[in-house]
Chains A and B, each alone.
Chain A
Amino acid sequence: VQLVESGGGLIQPGGSLRLSCAASGLAVSRNYMSWVRQAAGKGLEWVSVLNSADKIYYADSVKGRFTISRDNSKNTLYLQMNNVRAEDTAIYYCASLVNGVAFDYWGQGTPVTVSS
């Protein structure tokens, strides 16, 4: 299994960015998939999850601004980030969950910096 994130970069406050997570060795359509972030020097923070039944949950800190989705044909998970804030600056990890029980596979992460 391999999860490869991309799409991170430098973005101004209030801007938009879309992160991608290309999966191989597992089907994003049949797995719970999640985004987890980590600000510099801080701990892990869960962002969002999309399960195989299309049920979606978001952390309160991103609700209304971020959208999780997937493209089954590309076997790719996405995170659309709108109206970003300085506190969204972090490394964003894509992770799969085994039967929705716990995170199992993790990507290497993509950095997002929100700054003017």
Chain B
Amino acid sequence: QSALTQEASVSGAVGQKVTLSCNGNSNNIGSYTVGWYQQISHGAPKTVMFGDYLPPGIPDRFSGSQSGTTASLTISGLHPEDEADYYCSTWDYSLSAWVFGGGTKLTVV
């Protein structure tokens, strides 16, 4: 059972806006920046967002936010190549460990 909770699956049409959520508690999301990681077809993870910072090379249709013990990743205007598994992660000071969510499978229809 993951310390962070994500939707198992989300789907959206090309061009649609979707929001993925990541729920934690005061020991993790409530205290630390959340990172978001994209994994396409079980390849190597790729960082797409942390906090509200967009890494170089990541399209600006990706955006991130955090409020309280919840973090969100929004993709505004889905592209077919956005279809992937997305994981959230942050530090948990009560566990002294990095924790990941179980991942959300995003399907672009």
Say yes or no for A59: interface residue by CB 8 A criterion.
Answer: yes
B107 in the interface (beta carbon within 8 A) = no
Q: Is B62 in contact with chain A by the CB < 8 A criterion?
A: no
Classify the interface of chain A: helix, strand, loop or mixed. Answer: strand
Flag if B35 contacts A43 (CB, 8 Å). no
Closest Cβ of chain A to B106, distance in Å, is: 14
Chain A residues 71-110 with CB under 8 Å of chain B are: 93, 95, 98, 100-109
Across the interface, A45 reaches (CB within 8 A) one of B91, B96, B100, namely B100
Q: Chain B CB within 10 Å — which of A38, A60, A108 has the most? A: A38
Report the separation of the CA atoms of residues A60 and B37 in the bound assembly, to the nearest whole angstrom: 23
Q: Mark B5-30, 1 if CB is under 8 A from A, else 0.
A: 00000000000000000000000000
Q: What is the number of contacts between chain A and chain B, taking CB atoms within 8 Å?
A: 65
How far, in angstroms, from A49 to B91 measured CA to CA in the complex?
A: 11
Look across to chain A and name the residue whose beta carbon is closest to the beta carbon of B47. Answer: A104
- A: which residues have CB within 8 A of B? 34, 36, 38, 43-46, 49, 57, 59-60, 93, 95, 98, 100-109
15 additional contacts (CB under 8 A) given A43-B2, A44-B37, A102-B47: A43-B85, A43-B102, A43-B103, A44-B39, A45-B100, A60-B97, A93-B44, A93-B45, A101-B50, A101-B51, A102-B50, A102-B89, A102-B90, A103-B35, A106-B46
